[in-house]
Amino acid sequence: MTKKITGGCRCGAVKYEITAEPILAGNCHCRDCQHATGSTHLPAIAFPADAMTIIGEPNTYSITADSGNKSTRVFCPTCGDLIGGYSTGMEGMRMISASSLDDPSIYKPTMDIFTDAAQPWDVMDPDLPKFPGMPDMPE
Ligand SMILES: [Zn+2]
Ligand SMILES: [Zn+2]
């Protein structure tokens, strides 16, 4: 049995439950994640979409990424916390921000992605594999 993973926003209006192991976990340094987090990168964890249940009514905001994919971020309408997002380039997957986990310490990044967009004041773990854009996804 997979342990249930839970998280949500600061004010408690939006919560989620996930009943699957992560597909992947990594730091995304793209411009959209810089905007969304107010920082250098998004600590992102990907799960199968059908394993995630959202409790509450988050807002969404969509942009068309450089790749042409429509990228949607999901956030709390009350406190503004970023919950995560999804992309038309990754059908069937949901990303969550590790910061929104009830226990963020379970986050174990395995890569840095979109490092081409990283800021000069960004500091990365030299031991993690680096990808200039999006790496090939596991099927
Ligand atoms: Zn909130
Ligand atoms: Zn990103």
Quick check: is 100 in a domain?
yes
In a domain, 82, yes or no: yes
Inside any domain, residue 136: no
List, for residues 55-88, the tens digit of each pLDDT value: 999 999 999 987 788 999 999 999 999 999 999 9
Ligand 2 mean position to 3 CA, how many Å? 27
Domain containing residue 11? 5-117
* Alpha-carbon span 60 to 83, nearest angstrom: 10
Q: How many residues does the chain have?
A: 139
In a domain, 127, yes or no: no
139 located within any domain: no
Indicate the pTM of the whole model: 0.91
Q: Is residue 126 part of a domain?
A: no
Is residue 98 situated within a structural domain? yes
Paired strand residues for 95: 46, 85
Side by side, which strands form the sheet with 112-113? 59-64, 70-75, 82-87, 93-97, 42-48, 24-28, 112-113
pLDDT at 28: 96
As residues whose CB is below 5 A from the ion ligand 2, the structure lists 28, 30, 33
